[in-house]
Amino acid sequence: MGKLSVNYLGLALKSPLIVSSSRLTSTLGSIKEAEDSGAGAVVLKSLFEEQINQYINTMQPTHSYPEADDYTSFYIKSHSVEEYLTLIRRAKELISIPVIPSINCYTSEGWTGFAKNIQDAGADALEINVFFLPTDRKKSSAEAEKVYFDLIEKLKKTITIPVAIKIGYRFSNILYMIDQFYMRKVNGVVMFNRFYEPDIDINKLDIIPASIFSNENERRMVLRWIGMASAQDIKIDISASTGVHSGADAVRYLLAGANSVQVCSVLYDKGIPFLKKMNSQIETWMDNNGFASIGDFRGKLNYRNYKKPIVFERTQFMKYFSSED
């Protein structure tokens, strides 16, 4: 392994750069291109329980043959899963870097069923994406958070490969949640997910999707929480996600304490081979600053190691500008 090598979820990666779950990791050709371009691992495009169930529900029922309806629904669901499992198997045969499937579910039954099949297909690890949006004002935040804990506990009883959970940032206490994941033997956490966000078209008077791509300004929010989460006295790996558009962005996340960095939006714009330039930028920065390995500087500027950790806690501009240097 070279100077850019890292360890994530117990897996040896030749680079901290991971191509995150997206259309870019949905075909064998793009997956191979990611490896050739220097990716440390790939997270396959998510298998959506919601998407599969929606497809099943579009089938017109034949009321005189309910058994046939049940069989058709089962076949469609199994067939969709089998296509995904085939992608895992073939990717494992084609490339040498870790293959990390992703499942996006909203029931515990979906998690455990899909996850077992994915493990048996040869996955190196599993990234789970909990698509859960609290909409019941009668439900407390503790009740909403328990959904995550219940899913994780059932999942860990079903599979043995490493598990990372991809989360959003809208928790009352992110550090508490990560600690609870660690207590339930989750191996890693991806910070942060980019959920679907609505926008409004004022000309058509309609709800439309907001942009799905990140920009560099979004990095600031992620840096704060990675810097604080990586300083906790727990052994859970962190993969940075959102706002990664250059090797310099990756370096920032590594300095904050991330174990790996997931890349997506910039690859849609500049192509998968841009990973080569990003790796080169990281390596050049390391050479210029006298670092022989990523371990030499990872977490150097997190909440525990930075000489003025209070900067991670500042929430008001006045407090910042009125502080002494």
**pLDDT at position 279, please?**
98
**pLDDT at position 220, please?**
73
pLDDT digits 0-9 by tens, 259-271: 999 999 999 999 9
**pLDDT at position 34, please?**
98
pLDDT beyond 90 at 290: yes
**pLDDT at position 317, please?**
58
Confidence of residue 43 (pLDDT cuts 50, 70, 90): very high
**pLDDT at position 198, please?**
77
Pairing relationship of beta strands 17-19 and 41-43 according to DSSP bridges: parallel
Tokens representing 48 are: 């959506």
**pLDDT at position 224, please?**
92
Residue pair 25/42 in contact by the 8 Å Cβ criterion: yes
- Cα(first)–Cα(last) distance of the chain, in Å? 42
pLDDT digits 0-9 by tens, 201-218: 888 888 776 666 656 666
pLDDT digits 0-9 by tens, 178-201: 999 999 999 999 999 876 667 788
Report the chain's mean pLDDT, rounded to a whole number. Answer: 87
Domains detected in the chain: 6-322 (3.20.20.70)
More confident residue, 166 or 76: 166
**pLDDT at position 51, please?**
59
**pLDDT at position 217, please?**
65
**pLDDT at position 201, please?**
80
Confidence of residue 127 (pLDDT cuts 50, 70, 90): very high
pLDDT digits 0-9 by tens, 136-162: 889 898 888 888 999 999 999 999 999
Tokens representing 131 are: 């698509």
Tokens representing 70 are: 């049940």
Could you list the beta-strand ranges (E) of the chain: 6-8, 11-13, 17-19, 41-43, 47-48, 99-100, 102-105, 126-130, 163-167, 188-191, 198-201, 206-209, 237-241, 260-263
Beta bridge partners of 199: 208
pLDDT digits 0-9 by tens, 54-110: 655 665 555 555 565 565 566 556 678 889 999 999 999 999 999 999 988 877 766
Total residue count of the chain as it appears in this document: 325
Task: List the single range of 25-39, 58-72, 219-233 with lowest mean pLDDT.
Answer: 58-72
**pLDDT at position 71, please?**
54
Can you give the pTM of this predicted structure?
0.88
Secondary structure (H, E, C), 109-158: HHHHHHHHHHHHCCCCCEEEEECCCCCCCCCCHHHHHHHHHHHHHHHHCC
pLDDT digits 0-9 by tens, 232-282: 989 999 999 999 999 999 999 999 999 999 999 999 999 999 999 999 999
